[in-house]
Amino acid sequence: MPVMFDLLREEHGLVEESLDKFLMVGDNLETDILFGNNCGIDSLLVLTGNTNEEKAKSLALHREVNEGKPTLYAPYFGYES
């Protein structure tokens, strides 16, 4: 498990929490999503930034976990007003 994730869990008093309680949200397959994969947690790829829907379809669906493969996809993260 990456040291950064360990530090974050310690800092927020979450060391005892099960990994299935965490979700990495991001728009970059090579950084955000790969971080989640390397930490053993689920990841949500948001299609509003670095990775758009077209890029996700062409790349993410054919990737392996060690390359940054998201657990979930969403067109955006938040709510519409």
Close Cβ partners of 1 (under 8 Å, ≥ 6 residues apart): 38, 39, 40
Amino acid identity at 34: L
Q: Distance between CA atoms of 78 and 9, rounded to whole angstroms?
A: 24
Break the chain into its structural domains and give their ranges: 3-74
Contact between 32 and 26 (Cβ < 8 Å) = yes
Taking residues 4-33, report their average pLDDT: 95
The pLDDT, as a whole number, for residue 1 is 58
The pLDDT, as a whole number, for residue 61 is 64
pLDDT tens for residues 23-72?
A: 999 999 889 999 999 999 999 999 988 888 888 877 766 777 678 888 99
Q: Which one is the CATH code of 3-74: 3.40.50.1000, 3.40.50.970, 3.30.70.120, 3.40.50.720?
A: 3.40.50.1000
